[in-house]
Structure 1
Amino acid sequence: MTSTETLTLEQQIDLQIRTSGPISVATYMGLCLTHPSKGYYRAADPLGAKGDFVTAPEISQMFGELIGFWLVNLWQQMDQPKSFTLLELGPGRGTLMADILRVACRAPGFRDGLNLRLFETSPGLMAEQKARLEVYDPKWLQDFETFDAGPVLVIANEFFDALPIRQFVRKSDGWHERQVGLVEGKRAFGLSPTPIPATAMPDAVANAEPDTMLEVCFAAAEVLTRLGKVVSRQGGAVLAIDYGYATTQTGDTLQGVRRHAYADVLEAPGDTDLSAHVDFGALGNVARSTGLATQPLATQGQFLARLGIGERAAALTGANPASAPDIRAAHDRLVGQDQMGTLFKVFCAHSPGLAPVGFTA
């Protein structure tokens, strides 16, 4: 065992800064979330009441059931291919996919052609996914390069928000990257002394005011570029649901959550969930550059309402009258304007010629 392996993640990060100097926000996020042995997603199950946050599939089965219907509709538009890949990025406990497939596999032929693929970094969550989805013979991908023949359908619920971002701040001599360093022995934010010319930044921030912050997620662009090329070549679609904005914006959205409460992002690395809002405008540009078409960005509330969540809630209530208050509460949490309904957005990139439902009234 090397000396660094005996250190906590906090100590390792501080040692790296002392040894090599300040690190980028992206490097810090990457270490905090995916360190091989001590990262947040490697060491614990973050989901549910005992974790740090609750995702839509954990709130209600209706979320996954409607996405299952959405997938069947696309599969039918593609003439019910005899072989296709269904890939989920960051599948959590497998709850979403279990709900999806419970509905989708009722369509004759869907289960026969299904090649289920999962992309996950947490060993603990992989074990839960295997237990919940074993009947569908899932396989875990290590990259986005090798796929079976046939169309590829990708689901990503709260995946892109956890990818590392870089942050840049506008100063009089250009943009400077925000970094994490040490001040009197404590982690603190600062700026790289080396300016980046304004001409190297997106046109959307060409006239940004001093001290404006821009966030860029190169990791998200790389993931979507790789997947977009595959989907463009083989056919299919990418559905991403996350909190974010429709066009490139400025501002600091990096946040930490621990035990269902906001936390300082620089405290308790490895024990705090870090995330940032997704720039769906940038993702749309990436998708189109690979040859895919994109749908108008929808809110989660709009998307689920167009897929019939009201009717599904009524049907569940009719079958389980005693659960009516819980079903109504779950419905309102998923679609309410003051809850997840407006904060979360739904993005879809797809093969030209397909008409994914849920994006126009």
Structure 2
Amino acid sequence: MPTPLNAMLIARIREAGPLSVAEYMQAALADPAHGYYATRDPLGAAGDFITAPEISQIFGELIGLWVADCWDAMGRPRRLKIVELGPGRGTLMADVLRTLRVAPAMLPEPWLIETSPVLREAQRGRVDAHWADGLDEVPAGPMVLIANEFLDALPIRQFSLDADGWRERLVTAAADGSRLEWALGDARSRQDAGLPGALDSADQGSMAETCPAALALIRDVAARLVDQGGAALFVDYGTTTSRPGDSLQAVRGHRYHDPLEAPGQADLTAHVDFAALAAEAHAAGAVVHGPSPQSLFLEALGVFVRAQVLKRSATPEEAREIDLAVHRLTAPDQMGSLFKALALTDPHMPPPAGFS
């Protein structure tokens, strides 16, 4: 179905040429007037997807305990900036702050990095916080940063390998201007494409992806941790090694969708290359922990113990809901294996909870 953004992108392509996949994703997700995140609350049964904090309060409570453990390892600074990237409705931060009542000596200072006016409004109903458009707006000081299902929505570039080299996948307009379609750019070397060395052994016909925005973010976070102290936790779906593959997907109404159809109306995501991010963080001086499967990470934090505690005062129906939620978070055929947890710390901190 054509959308206003569809027509705008076709006009843009006709004037300036094809778009990279990254440029297309940026427009589809973040255009101020028609972008997916700028115009809606995408979460829940009435939206397009559901994230771990919306599945169960247990997830946010465990992350809150993880923050408290990091704070303790940091020497218990009186004030601690707790920064969340892509905070959705504010559910995770609300659960984290509620859990941090176990650490009354801490004065948490929550910061939500959010550009969507719709989601900011939803967050204001749940959390008393500071808002910023980027990490550079958060004042200096010790920090614990959390990002759940944030990296997967950052714009990626895609390349296809043929006999002449890696050709960038592009988005162009059909000859009759009726729709968007795929195209390929000129061949270039693996190095010029910005792809990791692990892809040197890729077969012809392979697709590969890189996410410059995620790499830049990881560099910035790592540099700040090294300079000012603290830790960061990234939980997302992706791979532990850099490997070929086309992971770009669109989701609309909890169903997979053609990525080029109805831009601005569907969520666009791609798998996270945790190996590339870990290498970037290490090069910036941070200590890298993981990635670890979400199931092992949550189990180490006590997910099953917390579920049993909640079930003691639950009705039979509530107990079944708790079991279903924990299964969804931890089962290998649900979120347990595909989702990973990656932590970064400054060099003076011991391994954080869940990674020792």
2:182 is matched with: 189
> Normalising by structure 1, what TM-score?
0.94
Q: Per-residue displacement from partner, 1:64-101 (whole Å, max 9, x unpaired)?
A: 00010111011011111012211000000000111111
d(CA) in 1 for partners of 2:335, 2:187:
38
SS at match of 2:263: coil
Whether 1:269 and 2:263 are equivalent positions in the alignment is: yes
**Aligned-residue offset at 1:153:** 0.7
In structure 2, the partner of 1:300 is: 294
Is residue 310 of structure 1 aligned with residue 304 of structure 2? yes
The one-letter code of the counterpart of 2:19 is: I
How far apart are residue 18 of structure 1 and its match? Answer: 1.6
CA distance in 2, matches of 1:95, 1:296: 25
1:198 alignment partner AA: R
* Alpha-carbon shift at residue 183 of structure 1 (Å): 2.5
Report the CA distance between 1:207 and its aligned residue.
Answer: 2.5
Secondary structure of the residue aligned to 1:38 is: coil
Amino acid at match of 2:337: T
Query: TM-score, normalising length from structure 2?
Result: 0.95
Question: For residue 198 of structure 1, what is the aligned residue in structure 2?
Answer: 190
- Per-residue deviation, 1:146: 4.2
User: Is it true that 1:128 corresponds to 2:119 in the alignment?
Assistant: no
CA drift at 1:259: 0.2
| Counterpart-to-counterpart distance in 2, 1:309 and 1:328 | 11
Q: Is the 8 A contact 2:64 2:96 kept in 1?
A: yes
The answer to whether the aligner puts 1:358 opposite 2:354 as a matched pair is yes
Deviation at 1:32, TM superposition (A): 0.2
Residue of structure 1 equivalent to 2:57: 61
Q: Secondary structure at the match of 2:135?
A: coil
Deviation at 1:116, TM superposition (A): 1.1
- What are the within-5 Å matches in structure 2 for residues 1-361 of structure 1? 8-110=4-106, 112=107, 114-134=108-128, 138-184=129-175, 185=177, 186-192=179-185, 194-200=186-192, 201-322=195-316, 323-354=318-349, 355-360=351-356
Distance 1:262 1:146 in 2: 35
- Mean CA deviation greater in 77-86 or 161-170: 77-86
* 1:140 partner SS: strand
Aligned AA for 1:70? W
Structure 2 CA distance for aligned equivalents of residues 348 and 80 of structure 1 = 19
Asked if 2 retains the 8 angstrom alpha-carbon contact of 1:84 and 1:149, the reply is no
Q: Return the alpha-carbon distance in structure 2 between the equivalents of residues 345 and 99 of structure 1.
A: 20
The letter for the 1-side match of 2:130 is K
1:149 is displaced (CA, Å) by: 4.0
List runs of 5+ in structure 1 lacking aligned partners. Answer: 1-6
Give a deviation string over 1:231-277, Cα, whole Å, max 9, x none.
Answer: 11011111000000011111100000000000000001000000000
1:4 equivalent in structure 2: none
**d(CA) in 2 for partners of 1:268, 1:128:** 25
The percentage of aligned residue pairs carrying the same residue is 45
Q: Please report the RMSD computed on the Cα atoms of aligned residues, expressed in angstroms.
A: 1.3
Write out the 4+ residue segments of structure 1 that deviate beyond 6 Å after TM superposition.
none
Separation of aligned partners in 2, 1:199 and 1:335: 37
Gaps of 5+ in 2: none
Q: Offset at 1:202?
A: 2.4
Give the 3-state SS of the residue equivalent to 1:226 in structure 2.
helix
Instruction: Report the number of matched residues.
Output: 348
Distance 1:311 1:170 in 2: 48
